[in-house]
Amino acid sequence: MTCPRYQVLGDNGRIIKKDIENYKPSEAAKSTPEAAKTEKATSSPAVSMAIPAGEEGVEETKNSNMRKAIAKALGNSKFTAPHFYLTIEVDMDNAIASRAQINTLPRYKGVF
């Protein structure tokens, strides 16, 4: 995908984070005055771009042998052990009535 309004820095015309951060709407409007006139006539008022705050970072740590063994055991249990799922219907009318009766009782015995 190519964007004629601004220069794309990514490989094969891919838009990357730096492209978005370095984009200046005022320069794009100056470069294409005809397009700007039609956009102003048909679009709503301009919205300011939000500037991201904070820093992004990734820290990769190697898994210990214990974590590797746990992951292997969990994977084996899910894929090799037979699993079945059960769905049943339960009539909860009596439970709802009991709960309503319990809620009417005082919270603490002997307190008035």
Q: Tell me, yes or no, whether 38 lies in a domain.
A: yes
Domain range for residue 26? 11-42
**Residue pLDDT, tens place only, 26-69:** 655 555 555 555 555 555 556 667 777 778 888 888 889 999 99
Question: Which residue has better confidence, 5 or 105?
Answer: 105
Number of independent structural domains in the chain: 1
Enter the pTM of the model: 0.24
**Residue pLDDT, tens place only, 102-111:** 888 877 776 5
Q: Tell me, yes or no, whether 30 lies in a domain.
A: yes
- Integer Cα distance of 20 and 18 in angstroms: 5
What's the confidence (pLDDT) of residue 1?
Answer: 46
Q: Tell me, yes or no, whether 101 lies in a domain.
A: no
Q: Tell me, yes or no, whether 84 lies in a domain.
A: no
Question: Which residue has better confidence, 86 or 45?
Answer: 86
